Amino acid sequence: MRSRQKLGTNKPVFYGARDNAVPSENSHLYAKKSFRMSVITRFAPSPTGHLHIGGARTAIFSWLLARHFKGQFRFRIEDTDLLRSKQEYTDSILASMKWLGLTWDGELTYQTKRMGLYNKYVDKLLETGHAYWCGCTEEEVNAMRERAKVRGLKPRYDGHCRNLNLGPGEGRCVRLKCPLEGKVVFDDMVKGRISVDVRELDDMVIRRSDGTPTYNMAVVVDDHDMGITHVIRGDDHVSNTPRQILIYQALGFPVPTFGHVPMILGPDGAKLSKRHGARAVIEYQKDGLLPQALVNYLVRLGWSHGDQEIFSLDELIELFDGTHMNPSAARFDVRKLEWLNAHYMRNLPVEELARLTRPFAEEAGYRDLPEPKLQALCAMFRDRAKTLIQLAANFAPMLKKAADLEYDEKAVAKNLTPQTKEYLSALISVFGDVSDFRSEPINDALKAYVDGHGLKFKDVAPALRTALVGFMGGSHLPDIMEFLGKEESLDRLKRAITLTIA
RNA sequence: GUCCCCAUCGUCUAGUCGGCCCAGGACACCGGCCUUUCACGCCGUCAACGGCGGUUCAAAUCCGCCUGGGGACGCCA
């Protein structure tokens, strides 16, 4: 439920919407109008790990918003944390984005390659009096915070150097000179109106004493420089937003529209962590999930369009306009993801399914599978698997030789009785006479035998199944036989007849 | 501690500015049908508006408080 409040009577001193426009009472409409002008979104991960599903979802939302409004979707790597950033993670994130089908516009931007840009703007803030040099040491600042805490206040910098007019110097950083009173208000695309008193904020550092810009500074400069109009990011950034808006104001930049999507929780409602298993997109890829299923699932987790559950990419682009996003955190439910995945597996053209399954078949040890065989296997088992891995796992009994087939003891004991073995012996010659060994003729022959002997399928099917695949599973019997071929099928029947129960 | 955000079935959610909601859909679960296994498919059952006040003829929908979650308070990003 969106908590969109009406305009209050107290006029906010700082307003965070674009172009300083006053929003209409209906912020949906207001937002829509501004979307129409131009939409440039971005995804800006830091390469300190693989792309995780939370990040993937914000990327998907950003991408969809841009595509829906025929705008642009930009990509920026926030690699300023030199210690934790790794090229392999950048590569991995890019690979996951491509796998998900999220194409971006323009060049990839690396933050580390544009350090000069940030300082230019810090200097500008210094010149215009929106920022000042601060010579306080870490210890002094910590002491201030402690004092504030003791008084029950929010720990913050007390503005010691604010009016000292210090110049540059060893160990000095630059702080933003924040307004002393008023509220920062902005209309969030998913949370509605958010208001924060500037007294909750302090004069944040925008340039460290080593000359590098801080995160909030860099983000604002980058987003403005890249022309970003809509910032969709994780929930954990809401408290950064007022600070960033202050920087936008000080710089005289138009403030973009923000949309803070809530985080994704584990099945137990706790923050997603290692012990929840797969968190990275790449892991789902390895588990045999289809990108379309993951995208569909992730989008649906936090966004809705009435009762619709299944969306094609085109539908999503058509329907996703930045509204109807859920402000509350959601739990990750693998079962529903798998249901969606199974759905997409069933509806893919076989050729496509086979192409996607091949790597998993190879992983399972089946290399050089002829395309027709692979497709036949996919067609036979697609309804019985929720993931590509599971699908490939079904191939085993189909690709062995009769002599190597493993039999389930219970199935043998229950179904291969002296009586049914007689049926099987008879069937060996029945099937042996089928010249066109395809599913249909095989089925006809089986039916003729069953009918001709006053039997029912139920009388012979379990035995036949056990004989052919070794256990009570698998696909349609005639299909299995067609796949195995006459010789192999008969070999299996012959071997089954010789089986005795221990 | 302070501030910000959140709160409908077990889970994801619908619920367009209060009435058509003794709350709808989907996943899961359970039961049934179909059936040459298992699935798929189809049908059905179970199941929720966190609590308390207020506004109103009428509240899941508006307001307040409480409770419970989460996030943020760095010269990290």
Q: What is the DSSP string of A314-354?
A: HHHHHH-SS-SB--S-EE--HHHHHHHHHHHHHHS-HHHHH
pLDDT at position A35 is: 45
Q: Average pLDDT in the A118-130 region?
A: 95
Report the nearest residue to nucleotide B25, CA vs C1'.
A307
In this predicted complex, what is the ipTM?
A: 0.94
Confidence band for A278, pLDDT divided at 50, 70 and 90: low
A107 touches strand B (CB under 7 A): no
Confidence band for A501, pLDDT divided at 50, 70 and 90: low
3-state class of A288 per DSSP? coil
Protein-contacted positions of strand B (CB under 7 Å): 1-8, 10-15, 17, 24-28, 35-41, 62-63, 69-77
Confidence band for A37, pLDDT divided at 50, 70 and 90: low
Residues 392-431 on chain A lying near strand B, CB distance under 7 A: none
Residues 302-341 on chain A lying near strand B, CB distance under 7 A: 302, 304, 306-307, 309, 324, 326-331, 333, 335-336, 339
A239 touches strand B (CB under 7 A): yes
pLDDT at position A149 is: 82
The Å distance, CA of A289 to C1' of B52, is 47
Residues 129-148 on chain A lying near strand B, CB distance under 7 A: 134, 136-138, 141, 145
- How many other β-carbons are positioned within 10 Å of the β-carbon of residue A21? 12
Confidence band for A80, pLDDT divided at 50, 70 and 90: confident
- Which range (A122-136, A252-266, A270-284) has the least confidence? A270-284
Q: Average pLDDT in the A207-219 region?
A: 93
Catalytic machinery residues of A: 274
A165 touches strand B (CB under 7 A): no
The Å distance, CA of A384 to C1' of B32, is 21
- Which range (A32-46, A129-143, A150-164) has the least confidence? A32-46
The Å distance, CA of A307 to C1' of B23, is 14
The Å distance, CA of A499 to C1' of B39, is 28
Q: Which two tokens stand for residue A23?
A: 């929003």
Report the nearest residue to nucleotide B63, CA vs C1'.
A5
- Whether residue A256 is predicted with pLDDT greater than 50 in this model: the reply is yes
- Whether residue A262 is predicted with pLDDT greater than 50 in this model: the reply is yes
Q: Which of A408, A435, A374 is nearest to A496 (CA)?
A: A408
Smallest CA–C1' separation from A134: which nucleotide?
B75
Contacts of A186 (CB under 8 A, 6+ apart): A15, A16, A17, A193, A194, A241, A242, A245, A255, A258
Q: Please name the residue ranges forming H helices in A235-288.
A: 241-251, 281-286
The Å distance, CA of A235 to C1' of B70, is 10
Cβ(A340)–Cβ(A348) under 8 Å?
Answer: no
What is the C-alpha separation between A190 and A262, in angstroms, rounded? 9
What is the C-alpha separation between A62 and A231, in angstroms, rounded? 8
The Å distance, CA of A391 to C1' of B39, is 12
Average of per-residue pLDDT values in chain A: 88
Contacts of A323 (CB under 8 A, 6+ apart): A28, A31, A32, A189
Distances (CA, A) of A484 to A184, A357, A376, A394, A438: 71, 20, 11, 14, 10
A7 touches strand B (CB under 7 A): no
Cβ(A480)–Cβ(A468) under 8 Å?
Answer: yes
- Which range (A20-24, A145-149, A271-275, A340-344) has the least confidence? A20-24
- How many other β-carbons are positioned within 10 Å of the β-carbon of residue A75? 23
Confidence band for A228, pLDDT divided at 50, 70 and 90: very high
Distances (CA, A) of A29 to A35, A321, A322, A324: 10, 11, 11, 13
Smallest CA–C1' separation from A152: which nucleotide?
B1
Smallest CA–C1' separation from A323: which nucleotide?
B16
- Whether residue A274 is predicted with pLDDT greater than 80 in this model: the reply is no
Q: Which two tokens stand for residue A94?
A: 């890019």
| pTM score, whole prediction | 0.89
pLDDT at position A96 is: 96
pLDDT at position A267 is: 86
Q: Average pLDDT in the A200-217 region?
A: 93
DSSP bridge partners of A372: none
Q: Average pLDDT in the A382-401 region?
A: 94
Confidence band for A272, pLDDT divided at 50, 70 and 90: confident
Task: Report pLDDT digits (tens) over A305-339.
Answer: 999 999 999 999 999 999 999 999 999 999 999 99
